Structure 1
Amino acid sequence: MSASTMQNEPVILRDDRNGVATLTLNRPKAFNALSKAVLTELERLVDAIAQDRSVRVVVLTGHGAAFSAGHDMKEMASDRSEAALTDLFSHCSRVMVKLTRLPQPVVARVDGIAAAAGCQLVAACDLAVCTEDSRFATSGVKYGLFCATPAVALRRAVPQKAALEMLFTGDFIDAAEALRLGLVGRVVAKEALDDAVVDLAARIAEKPFDVIALGKRAFYDEAGMGLEESYRHATGVIVENALGADFAEGVAAFAEKRKPAWPNN
């Protein structure tokens, strides 16, 4: 393959199958670093998927030896003006928020390293499955840059003291520790990764779109609330859900001992 052909390859590949959109970071030689071009394309794809009810689940993964090594250090070094850095980190933060606000659940499929903003990307996904060889770090501090924006997602995914140890040391944790802390939900052998992700996505995809979207939104909205406020909010959400057509069909299917045929799918 010629150099010009490689340069023309998309920075993110999209593959849609059975209601699952798989987005693959496609900069393997740069360890799938989150360049401006990658963030721009990821935001474009997420915006499009948000409006596409045929997509029930999003899988986010990386091509090559890394999930993502984080921000593109060479690109950052080329322009360290306040305007450029503010634009870069604001853009990345906006993309992370959009993943959380996406109606569809997002599954991180991790095989390899996820460092700095790459670790942030895993933490920002709703679910994560990784191989036994995967490793995770918020390593910016080793290069003189505290991972302040990755910390936003990380502290919401793992206990506070574990998050701070990762942030202060920049050291990698292995897959078993990531599972223990809750950064990932499942660890599998490398050869079992695809089957595990496909199975998880399929079990979500068969559920009613509107119910999953409502539940995901409520889950994150409640995260910053106090106990009483959270219960008030959740009560409104579950009442809205219970009054809808999907629950009506679910109740009917339960009574008739059959599989639901979700009306809005």
Structure 2
Amino acid sequence: MSLAKPVLVEKVGRVAHVELNRPEALNALNKEMLLELSKQLRTLSIDDEIDIVLLKGKGKAFSSGGDIKTMLTSSDENDFYAIMDSISEVALTLYSMPKLTICAIKGAAAGLGLSIALACDYSIAAEDAKIAMNFIGIALIPDGGSHFFLERRIGEVKAKELIWEGKVLNAVEAFEKNLIHEVSQDLESSVSDKVQQWLNSPIQAMVKTKKILADMSRPQLQKILELEKHGQLKMRQTEDHAEGIKAFVEKRRPNFQGK
């Protein structure tokens, strides 16, 4: 078992670098990582020395999504609720924390990984990034507030289309669909430029606008997170989900029956 911290935090001046740290699993989000990410974000949200939170992934990917191995080994309903509550806390904190948040995407931002990116104020993806809202591939629904974030970004009709198709998009396609804010040939440089632009801006005024909009919409996000949690529990009990997981492990196309 790895003893490495699942989330690394480094403070550089007024910027907190928050790095998902399971590179061997493409930063797949398991219970330990979600609990630690939630804890670190809550701590940073009340840190008066920090104005910007930069979220990124160690290794080749931002995050490949929820950890499939966890789904295979965990049948404990209490464990499920603990994970879903942590997911909700991460989404709510990122959306409403009195800091400006940036997500730097390299490699995969898929499933829950994309949900977390959508919760950030600004996202920059490398040219070769792969973006996917692909819960449908294992017969699940999006969580992490994705129904809320997608509906606000692209509208109900396009949100359903994106969720139901579950396609893997390249960075340009994701930008054209308004899922990310910027595509970069040099991710590190582009992120640095954006951070510096914001550091040279009246951040407190920007944060106040964020707070007003978040306070207005937070109840709806909380409601959707609850609906996602209960909906996800039902989906995990379906035959299609069991088939989706089995097909994933066996590296074949699933044979869904609508059950």
Return closer, same or farther for 1:188/1:172 CA change in 2, 3 Å cut-off: same
Q: Assess if the C-alpha contact under 8 Å between 1:59 and 1:106 holds in 2.
A: yes
More deviation, 88-97/117-126: 88-97
RMSD: 1.9
Matched with 1:206 is: 200
Higher RCO, 1 or 2 (CA under 8 Å, sep at least 6)? 2
- Given the alignment, which residue of 82, 99, 107 partners 1:104? 99
Whole-angstrom distance in 2 between the partners of 1:158 and 1:223: 16
Matched with 1:171 is: 167
Helix, strand or coil for the counterpart of 2:29? coil
Deviations 1:108-161 (A, max 9, x none): 000111111001011111100111111211211111212244333332333333
Q: Indicate whether 1:18 and 2:13 are aligned.
A: yes
Matched with 1:186 is: 182
Q: Assess if the C-alpha contact under 8 Å between 1:115 and 1:137 holds in 2.
A: yes
Whole-angstrom distance in 1 between the partners of 2:217 and 2:154: 14
Q: Assess if the C-alpha contact under 8 Å between 1:129 and 1:186 holds in 2.
A: yes
Helix, strand or coil for the counterpart of 2:123? strand
TM-score by length of 2: 0.78
Matched with 2:54 is: 59
Q: Could you list the runs of 5+ residues in structure 1 that have no partner in the other structure?
A: 226-265
Matched with 1:259 is: none
TM-superposed deviation, 1:223:
4.9
Matched with 1:158 is: 154
Deviations 1:77-113 (A, max 9, x none): 2223333222211220121101111100110000111
Q: Indicate whether 1:146 and 2:133 are aligned.
A: no
Paired-residue identity, %: 27
Letter aligned with residue 202 of structure 1? Q
Whole-angstrom distance in 1 between the partners of 2:43 and 2:108: 28
Whole-angstrom distance in 2 between the partners of 1:155 and 1:181: 12
Q: Indicate whether 1:27 and 2:22 are aligned.
A: yes
Deviations 1:8-62 (A, max 9, x none): 2211111222311111111011110111111111111111111212111111011
Q: Assess if the C-alpha contact under 8 Å between 1:56 and 1:204 holds in 2.
A: no
TM-superposed deviation, 1:195:
1.3
- Given the alignment, which residue of 36, 43, 60 partners 1:41? 36
TM-superposed deviation, 1:221:
3.4
Helix, strand or coil for the counterpart of 1:159? helix
Helix, strand or coil for the counterpart of 1:66? coil
Q: Assess if the C-alpha contact under 8 Å between 1:128 and 1:185 holds in 2.
A: yes
